Amino acid sequence: MTVRVDAAGDRLAVTVSGELDLDSDPFLQQTLNKALDRTTGGLELDLAGVDFCDCSALNVLLDVRDRARLSGKQITLSATSRAVQRLLTLTNTLPLFTEDPADPNRSAGPAPNATTTPPAHPADERATPDAITTHGARHHPSTAHAGPSRDRLVTENAQLHRAMETRTSIDLARGMLMASFHLTPEQAWQVLVTASQHTNTKLHQVADALLHTADGHTPLPEPLADHLATAVQIHRK
């Protein structure tokens, strides 16, 4: 993994490339925290060069974002790769990084020229209605620089809380797959994603269903069991 930090007005532009996993997480966390301390506005993340991103890396991004909010700063995405887009979409955390309440004229997604890919999962929405703003809409001078509304903060906190809950079940499910089928962390992640896509089921729901089988009596529902078995065979190779 490589990280480059550049000035971008009152913010810092952080460009990350390579693989984001347990090995690179400590360096990523340290780098982002230091960059956050150096800026008054926040960070703009360019993750277009990220080849692989797992839940532990998402944990780092959420932690840094929470730290930024406490200091009145913003963490937003300027570009994403397919791997990052897929993870954020499947965990319903994409809106947390694509809206900027401090700037009402800013769109609810990566910059128009950003290198992005469409969501890989049809069952998940890319952003909540509150995250969408009309391009070119006029704002009253008295509210143009107002902070985020109470409703927006409630929605944002609920999304963050849900992300924390679902990430735990996803990590546990990956551990079960790794122990049961001798998979690597990346292979276990790909198995969950493949089963999620082929059954049109949200990733955390696939993970929950797998965890329920740990009692030895609850079987996986059909056709999830078949798709999961096929995914294991594919990615174990």
Q: Are residues 31 and 102 in the same domain?
A: yes
Q: Are residues 125 and 35 in the same domain?
A: yes
Among 116, 134, 152, residue at a domain's last position: 134
Question: Which two structure tokens, joined as six digits, stand for 122?
Answer: 């049809």
Answer whether residue 158 is part of any domain: no
Among 112, 134, 156, residue at a domain's last position: 134
Q: Are residues 14 and 129 in the same domain?
A: yes
pLDDT at position 163, please?
61
Among 134, 157, 189, residue at a domain's last position: 134
Answer whether residue 178 is part of any domain: yes
pLDDT at 35 over 90: yes
Longest dimension (CA), the chain: 62
Answer whether residue 150 is part of any domain: no
Question: Which two structure tokens, joined as six digits, stand for 61?
Answer: 């991004």
Answer whether residue 146 is part of any domain: no
pLDDT at 30 over 70: yes
Burial code of 134-147, b = ≥16 C-beta within 10 A, e = fewer?
A: eeeeeeeeeeeeee
Distance between CA atoms of residues 2 and 49, nearest Å:
9
Distance between CA atoms of residues 163 and 158, nearest Å:
9
Order across the sheet with 74-80: list the strands. 2-8, 11-20, 42-53, 74-80
pLDDT in tens, 134-182: 233 333 333 334 445 666 655 655 555 566 566 778 888 888 888 888 8
When mean pLDDT is compared across 19-28, 105-114, 123-132, 204-213, the lowest value belongs to 123-132
Run of H or E including 120: none
Closest CA to 126 of 159, 171, 161: 159
Q: Are residues 130 and 172 in the same domain?
A: no
Q: Where are the alpha helices (DSSP H) in 18-92?
A: 25-38, 55-70, 82-90
pLDDT in tens, 3-19: 999 998 889 999 999 99
Structure letter (DSSP) for residue 184: -
Domain harbouring 119, CATH code: 3.30.750.24
Answer whether residue 152 is part of any domain: no
| Residue 224 belongs to domain spanning | 166-236
Domains identified in the chain, total number: 2
Q: Are residues 123 and 7 in the same domain?
A: yes
Q: Which residue has the tokens 């001798």?
A: 182
Mean pLDDT estimate for the chain: 75
Structure letter (DSSP) for residue 150: H
Q: Which residue has the tokens 């319903």?
A: 92
Answer whether residue 118 is part of any domain: yes
What burial class does residue 168 get, using C-beta atoms within 10 Å of its C-beta: 0-12 exposed, 13-18 middle, 19+ buried? middle
Q: Are residues 119 and 181 in the same domain?
A: no
Q: Are residues 221 and 106 in the same domain?
A: no
When mean pLDDT is compared across 28-32, 184-188, 228-232, the lowest value belongs to 184-188
Closest CA to 28 of 70, 73, 65: 65
Q: Are residues 15 and 124 in the same domain?
A: yes
Average pLDDT over residues 208-214: 87
Question: Which two structure tokens, joined as six digits, stand for 145?
Answer: 């620089």
Q: Are residues 100 and 173 in the same domain?
A: no
Q: Are residues 84 and 198 in the same domain?
A: no
Answer whether residue 161 is part of any domain: no
Q: Are residues 121 and 199 in the same domain?
A: no
When mean pLDDT is compared across 81-95, 114-128, 188-202, the lowest value belongs to 114-128
Q: Are residues 94 and 10 in the same domain?
A: yes
